[in-house]
Structure 1
């Protein structure tokens, strides 16, 4: 069965966010990708209470991430998954050939753009009782 338009857009958003936004070292093209993929007031939620809201804040956060991890890259670890407006992508991040961190993005899509991203980083989201 051929993928639906919604499924195609889910893959575009998940891969675009991972590679064109988070993995993009070119500030100009990264900002362009952010504005095309995210709602104006899009929000990224990371572990430990980190909340990044809006295009400029997202861009600044990613610039810092890339500067602090020079030479690192993102790779997917499986297919993009979708349930209605929820999109999921699992990934690794680290030096080429030696991933240091496993994570996943849970993306909420609204009107064809990213509204919210909930990021799991390794075991940082584990509930420890």
Structure 2
């Protein structure tokens, strides 16, 4: 039995919180000063991110630089937010489908969907049952599609 299947593993609410923080407070946050302090609570120090363009990001610095390039001033997704559409879990693996777009309303909850995709996430669960994201595969609908 893996640690996520035991009673000491993270609860569905904890997984939901981790994923929501990952999407909203990291990958949707244009400010490195706000985003960077959150990393140790969400990601394993040796986090690896597989981007759809073939790049492999290793560690906090490379991840932060990539998020900055995407969401920072002049970035391709400046002003956009990620929202989880569906979160599924099997053991230490989490699949989250998401929508990306600019906020529709003042509170920023609803977005105008410009792109969709998913993250495949491998968790690292410690002996206290606390989970962090260890490995992340980013899938973007249309860009990551495999066609014969």
Normalising TM by the smaller chain, what interval?
A: 0.7 to 0.9
Single out whichever of 99-108 and 89-98 deviates more from structure 2: 89-98
Single out whichever of 57-66 and 7-16 deviates more from structure 2: 7-16
Deviation at 1:36, TM superposition (A): 1.5
Q: Secondary structure at the match of 2:46?
A: strand
> Partner residue of 2:108?
none
> Partner residue of 2:44?
39
Instruction: Give the alignment partner of residue 20 of structure 2, picking from 15, 35, 51.
Output: 15
Q: Secondary structure at the match of 1:117?
A: strand
Following the alignment from structure 2 to structure 1, what is the Cα–Cα distance between the partners of residues 91 and 11? 8
Deviation at 1:76, TM superposition (A): 2.1
Write the deviation string for residues 79-121 of structure 1: whole angstroms up to 9, x where unpaired.
x211000011111112224211101111100121110011110
Tell me the C-alpha RMSD between the 2 structures: 1.6
Instruction: Give the alignment partner of residue 70 of structure 1, picking from 53, 78, 82.
Output: 78
Q: TM-score, normalised by structure 2?
A: 0.77
Instruction: Give the alignment partner of residue 133 of structure 2, picking from 110, 114, 128.
Output: 114
Deviation at 1:8, TM superposition (A): 2.7
Larger Rg: 2
Q: Secondary structure at the match of 1:15?
A: helix
Q: TM-score, normalised by structure 1?
A: 0.87
Deviation at 1:25, TM superposition (A): 2.3
Instruction: Give the alignment partner of residue 100 of structure 1, picking from 114, 132, 136.
Output: 114
Structure 2: any 5+ residue segments left out of the alignment?
A: 1-8, 105-111, 126-130
> Partner residue of 1:84?
91
Structure 1: any 5+ residue segments left out of the alignment?
A: none
> Partner residue of 1:50?
55
Deviation at 1:45, TM superposition (A): 0.6
Decide which structure has greater helix share: 1
Deviation at 1:5, TM superposition (A): 3.2
